[in-house]
């Protein structure tokens, strides 16, 4: 019997598995994200696979999936509810949910936040990665456990500044910002306030929303000043290895070949 319900390998390169115990978001208009006015890739998937997402992109919790990571023994980076936004206004961390508790083999009624944290504490071998476009609601879940990385998506300067402000209000092991899609030049004045920066283009790829290379270069150079690791996503269309790859987009691999900057936070759970 498959116990990894709604937990499966992911194509997002900085994660190993996607744990979609929740899907959907209220921060869109017909699939176009209000935070940046671009098409939401998750929305389009829920429309294509209606059998798997019977409520479309309406915020939905799947109780049978709340304990899935307990059955995954191999230490993994798990992307939490990336098919929506757990921190949107429609999801209430205090909502009571009845689900099966594996350790007791009986149904238990607990808050959404309680279920998440019960599962996370039972899985110290995993790293749980959360990402939101609604950072004002992160405080409802703080403090996060030591095996949680918490991030905010930002596409422009205002969103970046808001992300830093709200990340400073929470307690978590790793705070990061995902600049995807990077739609305008962003100045990073608050280097010490984040532990990791991810940079990407819009998915699916669109030349109209492809970031300018000088924007990307300036961000990487700002991060390098204070040793903030940078992860360049594959949708930037840069090869993994390149004999001609240039700094700061690449660093020299031990073999002598230039390797794309796909760095991770230097932390231990």
Strands annotated E in the chain: 7-9, 17-19, 22-23, 28-29, 32-33, 60-61, 77-80, 96-101, 106-111, 127-132, 148-153, 174-179, 196-199, 230-232, 241-242, 250-252, 258-260
- Band of residue 255 on the pLDDT scale cut at 50, 70, 90: confident
Residue 206 lies in a domain: no
Residue 260 lies in a domain: no
Is residue 61 over pLDDT 90? yes
Average pLDDT rounded to a whole number, residues 148-165: 95
Residue 9 lies in a domain: yes
| Tally of helices (H runs) and strands (E runs) in the chain | 4, 17
At CB < 8 A and 24+ separation, what contacts does 260-265 make? 260/232, 261/220, 261/230, 261/231, 261/232, 262/13, 262/14, 262/231, 262/232, 263/196, 263/229, 263/230, 263/231, 264/14, 264/196, 264/229, 264/231, 265/149, 265/174, 265/176, 265/195, 265/196, 265/229
Place of tokens 């919790």: 61
Beta pairing partners, 258: 242, 252
Domains in the chain: how many in total?
1
CB neighbour class for 190 (10 Å; exposed up to 12, middle 13-18, buried from 19): middle
- Separation between Cα atoms, residue 209 and residue 156, nearest integer Å: 12
Residue 204 lies in a domain: no
| Each residue's pLDDT tens digit, 117-136 | 999 999 999 999 999 999 99
Beta pairing partners, 78: 17, 128
Q: Which of 31-35, 63-67, 183-187 has the lowest mean pLDDT?
A: 31-35
Residue 70 lies in a domain: yes
Whether the CB-CB separation of 136 and 85 falls below 8 Å is answered with no
Length of the chain: 269
Determine the pLDDT at residue 209.
67
CB neighbour class for 226 (10 Å; exposed up to 12, middle 13-18, buried from 19): exposed
Residue 27 lies in a domain: yes
Q: What is the mean pLDDT of the chain?
A: 91
Is residue 182 over pLDDT 90? yes
Angle formed at CA 191 by CA 187 and CA 196, multiple of 5 degrees: 100
Average pLDDT rounded to a whole number, residues 185-197: 84
Average pLDDT rounded to a whole number, residues 145-159: 95
Residue 198 lies in a domain: no
Residue 63 lies in a domain: yes
* Domain boundaries, position 34: 1-132
Determine the pLDDT at residue 189.
77
- Band of residue 179 on the pLDDT scale cut at 50, 70, 90: very high
- Separation between Cα atoms, residue 28 and residue 237, nearest integer Å: 27
């Amino acid at each position: 019997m498959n116990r990894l319900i709604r937990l499966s390998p992911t194509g997002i390169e900085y994660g190993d598995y996607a744990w979609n115990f929740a899907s959907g978001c209220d921060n869109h208009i017909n699939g176009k994200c209000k935070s940046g006015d671009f098409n939401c890739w998750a929305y389009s998937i829920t429309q294509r696979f209606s059998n798997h997402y019977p409520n479309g992109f309406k915020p939905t919790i799947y109780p049978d999936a709340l304990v899935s990571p307990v059955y995954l023994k191999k230490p993994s980076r798990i992307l939490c509810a990336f098919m929506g936004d757990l921190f949107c206004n429609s999801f209430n961390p205090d909502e009571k949910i009845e689900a099966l508790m594996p350790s007791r083999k009986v149904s238990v009624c607990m808050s959404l936040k309680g279920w998440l944290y019960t599962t996370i504490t039972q899985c110290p071998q995993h790293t749980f990665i959360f990402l939101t476009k609604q950072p004002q609601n992160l405080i409802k879940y703080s403090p996060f456990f030591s095996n949680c990385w918490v991030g905010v998506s930002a596409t422009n300067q205002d969103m970046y500044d808001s992300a830093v402000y709200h990340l400073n209000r929470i307690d978590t092991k790793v705070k990061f910002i995902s600049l995807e899609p990077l739609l305008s030049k962003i100045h990073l004045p608050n280097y010490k306030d984040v532990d990791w920066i991810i940079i990407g283009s819009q998915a699916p790829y669109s030349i109209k929303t492809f970031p300018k290379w000088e924007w990307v270069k300036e961000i990487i150079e700002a991060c390098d000043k204070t040793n903030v690791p940078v992860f360049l996503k594959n949708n930037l269309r840069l090869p993994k290895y390149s004999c001609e790859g240039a700094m700061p987009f690449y660093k020299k691999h031990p073999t002598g070949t230039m390797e794309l900057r796909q760095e991770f936070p230097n932390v231990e759970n």
